[in-house]
A and B are shown apart, each in its own frame.
Chain A
Amino acid sequence: MRHPFFKSSRQKVVSGWFFIGIGSRFRGDDAVGCLLADELAAAGLAAIEHSGEPTSLIDDWQGPERVMLLDAVFSGAAPGIIHHFDLRTETLPAAFSKPTTHAIGIAEAVEFARALGKLPPKIEFYGIEGQSFDYGRSLSPPVQEALEKLKGMLLKRYGSG
């Protein structure tokens, strides 16, 4: 039987980088942010998974001084390309928004937080260009490869080992 009252993985840190892996585990390459967060948490870094719901996302980055968002994007670039933005000084391209009139992307959540003065002192974004967002699919090969590459880079830079 399902047990719905799972323990929230939310945690607050006030120093060091706080990694937020955004996406859905059930939608192909959209899982890459969650899987990256798993890997970083397993390596002892402060990392959580997040659906991307804007109000709780903004809430989750209150407190930590340094926040790193990890997400899949779909901008038309080659699958597996890794995008990086310093969100204190840059805005995410509009192309990163999901192309519907009823969806809010991370780009809009960031701008909302900026308008309300709710961005952390340091906030960066790594986006991996996805190929397939179909339900029930695993990561596509180029995204899997990008995950390994980004994980290696982040662990080398921020991991204790």
Chain B
Amino acid sequence: MAWGFMFFKPSHSVGERGNPSGLRVTMENAHNEKTTTIKVNYLARVEGEGNMYIDIEKGQLKSLNFGIHEPPRFFEAFLRGRKFSEAPDITSRICGICPIAYQMSSVHAMENALEVKITPWIRKMRRFLYCGEHIQSHILHAYLLHAPDFLGYESSIHMAKDHPQEVEHGLQLKKIGNEIMEMIGGRAVHPINVKVGGFYSAPSKKAMRDMVPMLDRACDMARAATKWVATLPFPEFERQYTYVSLHHPDEYAFNEGQIVSNKGLDITPAQFNATFEEIHVEHSNALHCRFRETGACYYNGPLARFANNFDQLSQGTRDLAREVGLDRIVSNPFKSILVRCLESFEYCKEALQIARDYEEPDSPSVPVHPQAGEGHAWTEAPRGGLYHHYVLDDEGNIIKAQLTIPTSQNQAMIEDDLRALVPQYIDLPDDQLQWKCEQAIRNYDPCISCATHFLNLHVKRS
């Protein structure tokens, strides 16, 4: 039946553009003052189900909230009592689009807890795998979910009729991302070759070399994609963000490094909970993250990686960035689609290099011995940082698990963007305002299915 994600709105969904059964109520009180409420019950073309409420009173934004109403999924509770070795496979089921991110954060956190040192081969092949996931996720989002917003199309199917070559490139690039994941992950959706300590099996040198021509073409297509996306009409909208991401001095950070910001933050993943907190807001099943000390929200995702790791990009990617008019700090969130394409170009080049240089290892994994411990990891999912924290008992069973996902980390910032955006476009007709808001939410490529991960439940019996 259905698979994975949506890039075309099913006819039964409500709140569709052009025919918004999403509720719009305009009331007039005794003083002839108009109050408008726009209520969109289903947001299409994002992962999972979210809603958005905007109240406008006398031409002023009165209140706004972006809610995620996917039910809680209790994965953290599922993990308790399970073996450390089960975490990569269990957590990868949280998302069909970014399963690698869950596998990477879980294996790194477990290896942190169990004091495991991986080999350079494992490290490189994890980057290869992550390249595949980022390419397929970014291209899916850019071409099939977000680009139609900029060009005024109802869906990518409508867009494909007028831009077949571009969409064709998008489909091919997404497929190449999948094939990278299949090569080292065993399959593209919920890969099965990742384990704590490395991989179950290694691909042959021939299989990796055979990918080289395809990856060579992918670089050309990703370059073309970046240039095409740069021609989209970007709404005028500038923000001053605190960009939070992983940073590594020697590479464009995926798996390892410090959590940094453009405003001086520099912490280890183990300091995550001392620095950030997750809070529950009434209107959403997904927790909101913020700085513990100031309560301020922050941006994580492509713009943050780009800002904090610009110097770690290859020269070719930095040149392409300048060619399409991007500086290190991209303060227009609508340009996140452009940074996604630029990152895809970088990942295609890295995957190509890894395939060219590939040698078969003596062993695809290192031994892992269960012991009591506590481990933390932050890795970069396509849509932002994914933090995992585990506590293990003497036998390596999970006592505690915490998964803080990118959409939770970005949800407060999404609302903040909308509060700034709506006044700028408040005079637009409601359907156009709704369009603009949905487009702004998609700047974050939110994965709402992942975001409903934990809720404290209190039962009162009398």
Contact = CB atoms under 8 A, between A and B. Distances in A.
A135 B201 CA distance: 27
Given A4-B192, A94-B12, A115-B157, A56 B2 contact: no
Interface in B130-187: 156-158, 160-161, 164, 167-168, 171, 174-175, 178, 185-187
B345 interface: no
A108 B8 contact: yes
Interface residues of A, number: 41
A53 B144 CA distance: 14
Contacts of A30: 1
B6 interface: yes
Contacts of B269: none
Nearest to A117: B164
B189 A51 contact: yes
A98 B160 contact: no
Contacts of B161: 115
A87 interface: no
A74 interface: yes
A116 B160 contact: yes
B178 A53 contact: yes
B188 A4 contact: no
A55 B137 CA distance: 13
Interface residues of B, number: 46
A100 interface: yes
A99 B10 contact: yes
A20 to B, nearest CB: 13
Nearest to B44: A101
B49 interface: yes
Contact of A104 (B7, B175, B187, B200): B7
Contacts of B168: 116
B198 interface: no
Interface of B: 1-13, 42-44, 46-49, 156-158, 160-161, 164, 167-168, 171, 174-175, 178, 185-189, 191-193, 200-201, 203, 207, 448-449
Interface of A: 1-6, 22-23, 30, 51-56, 58-59, 71-74, 94-95, 97-106, 108, 111-112, 115-117, 130, 133
